[in-house]
Amino acid sequence: MPRIPHNAPGPVTVLRRRCVLLLGVLGPWLSGGCSPPAPLRLVGHPWPGHELFFLAQQLGYLPALPLLQLQETTTLQESVQRLRESRADGALLPLSEVLQLRDEGLNLQVVLVLDVSRGADMLLLQPGLRGLTALRGQRVGVDPNSQSTLMLQLALEQAGLKADDVQVERLPYAQHERAWERHDIQALVTHEPVAGRLLARGAHPALNTRQLPDTLFHVLAVRSDALPVHGDTLRAALAGYLQALDYQRRNPWDAAYRMAPRLQLSAEALLEALRGLEQPDRLGNRRYLANTDSTLERIALQLSPLMQRAGLLRQPVSLLDLDSGDYLPRS
């Protein structure tokens, strides 16, 4: 087992960091004799690209209560529902979900790009099937979320097929392996670590996100009405997240051992899953979230017609206030 690095913070260091963050953000409220606002409530479901936020919390890099409340949900659908019901101010979500929620009328703004899939998501075929055209007439397992639906749409269009050329089986991620082993499905849109385990059992990779650059993203999106109230806390949280990213890059094994238990993975499996993700640093995020003509806006504009064809959007996506780099640390 890898040794804990000498620079890993101890309990006293973590407590000191949290006190400094608390005083830094609460100072203006306390000096003015005002009561601080309710905490900034962020939620996220289990996904390798989300874990850096929880690592940052563990290492004492994030503001704590009463400034920030970071909660884990069990599913993406639960995170989305909390946003809809105003029980969360922001969430760690696929970009496609953000576009869907904005299409519903919920004003969300992307303030951080967490990861870009570079092979972690894929479409698998049962042994004996080859090529995307083999999907015709087959039962395809697809997670009931917009990102998996989007990937299936891309696969069908590359194969020259239509939605009614396949039988779509909506399967939550937790059921993917069982459905595959029972041959309830002949193809499956899934992601790591399940994808890696099925590949080891003979699954054929028909398509992955290395072949679909800049398509599947996970981001932190915050309700627009929460930004004026929680701006300072959000800046401190993003700085802490990026500090945890730097810690992960310098101490990959220690970070993996700290993060893996929440995902019920081994450290080795988590590191393998992370190899299929690009995790942009501060400079990468500044490129994606530039104040004018941001890369993320261009990508959203390209995804919009694809999502409409997949039935995920009712109308072309609005780019008005889609993203902001104003909450990223300057240096």
Which of the two residues, 36 and 245, has the higher pLDDT score?
245
State the pTM of this model: 0.88
Supply the pLDDT for residue 87. 97
Strands of the sheet containing 68-72, edge to edge, are: 68-72, 40-44, 90-94, 217-223, 108-117, 277-278
Beta-bridge mates of residue 170? 142
Nearest to 220 by CA among 52, 55, 104: 52
- Is the pLDDT confidence value at 59 over 90? yes
Q: Is 125 helix (H, G, I), strand (E, B) or coil?
A: strand
What is the structure's pLDDT at 193? 85
pLDDT digits (tens, 9 = 90+) for 156-193: 999 999 999 999 999 999 999 999 999 999 999 999 88
Pair 62, 24: CB distance under 8 Å: no
Q: Which amino acid is at 131?
A: G
Average of per-residue pLDDT values in the chain: 91
Q: Is the pLDDT of residue 211 over 80?
A: yes
- One-letter amino acid at 112 equals L
Predicted confidence (pLDDT) per residue in 88-119, tens digit: 999 999 999 999 999 999 999 999 999 999 99
CATH for 121-208 is 3.40.190.10
pLDDT in tens, 251-264: 999 999 999 999 98
- Distance from C-alpha of 56 to C-alpha of 67, rounded to nearest angstrom: 15
Q: Is the pLDDT assigned to residue 152 strictly greater than 50?
A: yes
CATH 3.40.50.150 is held by the domain 11-116+215-309: no
- Pick the closest to residue 307 from 95, 114, 133 (CA basis): 95
Per domain, the residue ranges of the chain are 11-116+215-309, 121-208
